[in-house]
Structures are given as structure tokens and as C-alpha cells.
Structure 1
Amino acid sequence: MGNNAENGMSSKLEKWGYETHRAIFDTGTIEHFRREADRVAQAAGSACVRHLRSRSEVFDELALSGSFLRLLPPGVSPVRSILFDKTPAENWPVPWHQDLTIAVVEERSVSGYGPWSFKDGSPHVQPPLSLLENMATIRLHLDETPAGNGALRVSPGSHRRGKLPSDLLRESFIEESQTCECQAGDVLMMSPLIVHSSRRSTAPNRRRVLHFEYARREDLDPELHWFE
């Protein structure tokens, strides 16, 4: 993430790559977000809904709200938004990985960017490490998420190792992991470079998470444009 004195990251987020903020929203607000999340998921017909801000004025306003921006370093803006909606019927495990891609408007041949892929109709690309180091992710939990219900696991400090080869990202590589259990209304902040995963729920229930990624828009090569 670069130097925290320069980019405004908290010392904990800088050191460990993640931190939890408890009870950012009250019960009534979370219930409002749940109803909106259910509406968006039903309209999209998917348990993983990308481009969330364009589908919901409520979540577009949330991404830019003071409740979120006060947690973030200055100068960043939301650049990607996703709803994850695990249910007993949609109960998938996620292997250890880093979030290495960003969403842009169109694919272009730009030095330092690649490989390219397409997800839900938009080009995605791996940008230079320096861009990812200055990004931050906010995950707002709309449901109780204990270890048995697919809570995110992270490898503390792994974000400081840069982009890691995929063959290293396996269970035996992760010497130490932390399970980030959260209550409804809690926010988990993390670097996209932190190695993270989630197990299949052993006590499956609703596990709705709003995922917002933030970046400095000027960090993107001028030949490219953020999708959001």
C-alpha cells in the first residue's frame, strides 16, 4: 500500500493488510440495505452481482457516504462494486487468492497492464503493482458471518509480498491465517493484495456482503478509463 504516512492508511491496515470496524450502521439501516440487496439480486438473477452502483441508487450513495469515506485515505474514489449473496442453496468455497484485476471501459494495449479478461460484459485487467498497493476494499456485512457461515479468512501481512504466483496460493503455503468473523453492520477493510479465501459454510445461512473497491483515479494509465 505504500507509505501510510503519505497515503493516509491506518497503521494496522498498512501492517496487516486488513482491519475490522464494528457496528458502522444500526439495525434499521442494515435492514434497509438487506431489502435493497435482495431486490438487486432478484433482478440480476445471480448470487454474485457486479457493477452494483449502476444497479442501485442506494448503494451508489453508500459508496460515496461519509460513513465509508472517513475510513479511507484521502483522494480515493469507488471503482468497483459487487454484491455477494451466499445462501444455503448458493454455498460455494473460494480458494486462496489475491484481487489482482480492475474493471475498465475498454481493452487497450498498454504497457504494464495484462493479462486481460471479461466479466459480466466489462474488460478486466491486472494493473501494475503500484496501483494495487494504493487501493483499499470495504466489505460491509449485512448478516452475521461467523466462521461456520463462510467468514473471510486472510493471511495477515501477505499484502506486503506483492503479486504472488498462483502455485503458491494453496493451503500448505498459508502458515498463519485469521478468520474475520463479523456481525451485521460491521465493515472489513482490506488491501486487494492480501491473500484471502472463504470455506464452504458448514452452517449455511444468508451471507450478504457489499464489496466496494477504492482507488486513486489518477493512478490509472491515461489510455484507460475506470468502468465505474
Structure 2
Amino acid sequence: MSGRTYQQEMAANGFAVIENVFTDKEIDILIGIIERADSSNETFRKTKDLFAIRQFLKEVPDAAHAIFTPGLNAVVKELFGTGYQVVKSIYFDKPGDSNWFVSYHQDLTISVKEKADLPGFGPWTVKQQQYAVQPPLTILESNFTIRIHLDDTDEQNGALRVVPGSHNKGIYRPETIDWDKETEVSCKVRKGGMMIMRPLLLHASSRTTNSNKRRVIHIEFSNQELPAPLQWSELMQ
């Protein structure tokens, strides 16, 4: 599909799946970089159901050159133009025997360096010394996320389930979903492909049932400047 078609999908549905953004060799290089990373830092979360690295591009800086290939940069520029910067990054490794799942939700918070009481920003949370806050809706509506898949992902190993068009409905509480009116789509992505989504898109992930791993690099972009003294915690130029 053309960039124009993906733009139309994003506008109407809040997400798009783009295959073959990375070659198998490029993905294997990325996996090697991650496996060599020092996992002793507190931003690394390790349980039997999930291995995650918060502030991924800070903790594994060598991954940046392997992620931001000419191919990826071209896709982002074609779909969103210039002016967007990376503001958050997480690596998820969901093992093949994982029971970890995530119920329907929107990504309503952004990560910032320090807490500051400003109109329109709140409530606040802090996790692993990382401040998160719900910003004004205009910021969330302009942001987008890419999810780079290091493994084939389908319904059996935790592919995202989404409600198309829910990103256009503001704050949408999961308990109010009317399934007589809404539909659910499973977003299958092959190794080397990626899913692009708006943070306000309602999404969920099921338990793994086929014993296959699901490794994903999650990167959030914004073209918004935060009001002082707030600063993005992971701003990459």
C-alpha cells in the first residue's frame, strides 16, 4: 500500500500494520544487541511472564542505529512529516509460556523528568523512578507509537486486539465499550514488520497459547513541546 493509504487507515482506524520494514538480518542484529545488554539495572523488569526494559533507548543506546534505518525513517517521514521526536521507548519480551495479558485500555500518560503542578496535567504516577502524567488531550491526539516486531505475532502469542476508530472518541473507558456497536480486530504482524498506532486507540493483549515468543520494541513520538518546567524524560533529537 502507499503512504497515502496508510495515512487514511491511521485517520479512520487509529492504526496500520506495515510489513517488511526490517530484513531478517536487521532484526537478528537488533536481537543480538538486546541480548548483550546489561540487565542488572532497575529499569529492567524480569518475571517468568515478562521481560521488559523501560527507557529502552537510554539503557541500550547501541540499538538506536539498528532501529532508525533509512527504511524506518522513510516510513515515519512519509506518514507524519518532520518535527516528530522520540519521547518514550520500551522493550517487551513475552516468553512462550507466558500467562501475561493486558486488558483493554488507552495509553493516557506521557513520561516526564520531574513532577510539576500545571493546569491540565494529572493525575500523576511514579514507577521505577519514572514520572508519568496524563496530559491535555491535544498532546495525546497528536502523538503516535510504533511497535517493531522481532517475532511473528498472531492471536496465539499476544497480538494486539484493538477497537478501530476508538482513538477519535476522546477518553474512552473500557467498561463503557458497547460491543453491539464496536468491532474488535486482531493485529497480526510478521517478524520485521511494525504496527503504528495512536495512543488513544483502545487496545488489549491476550495470554500466549502457542508457546511462541513475542518480542516488541515500543517507541512513542511527539511533535509537542511541553510547558515549562515539564520536560520529556527520553527526548531524542
The CA deviation at 1:89 is 4.2
The 3-state SS of whatever aligns with 1:24 is: coil
Equivalent of 1:226 in 207, 223, 232 = 232
Taking the aligned partners of 2:216 and 2:85, their CA distance within structure 1 comes to: 19
Q: 1:59 — aligned with what?
A: 63
Whichever residue aligns with residue 223 of structure 1, its letter is P
Q: Give the Å deviation of 1:45.
A: 5.2
Find the aligned partners of 2:30 and 2:65 in 1 and give their Cα distance.
12
3-state SS of 2:147 partner: strand
Give the aligned partner of residue 106 of structure 1.
114
What's the counterpart of residue 74 of structure 2? 70
Could you list the runs of 5+ residues in structure 2 that have no partner in the other structure?
Answer: none
Gaps of 5+ in 1: none
Which of 199, 209, 219 aligns to 1:192? It is 199
Q: Say which of 21, 26, 37 aligns to 2:34.
A: 37
1:92 aligns with 2:100: yes
Distance in 2 (alpha carbons) for counterparts of 1:223 and 1:172: 42
Is contact 1:41–1:49 with CA below 8 Å preserved after alignment?
no
Equivalent residue letter for 1:103: S
Tell me by how many angstroms 1:67 deviates: 2.9
Cα pair 1:141 1:187 within 8 Å, conserved: yes
Q: Is the 8 A contact 1:62 1:68 kept in 2?
A: no
Distance 1:57 1:207, change over 3 A: same
TM-score, reference length from structure 1? 0.88
Q: Could you say what secondary structure the match of 1:70 adopts?
A: helix
How far apart in 1 are the matches of 2:24 and 2:17?
18
TM-score for both structures, normalised by structure 2: 0.85
Q: Amino acid of the residue matched to residue 35 of structure 1?
A: G
Distance in 2 of aligned mates of 1:89 and 1:45? 17
Alpha-carbon distance in 2 for matches of 1:103, 1:18? 22
**Paired residue for 2:145?**
137
How many residue pairs match? The answer is 219
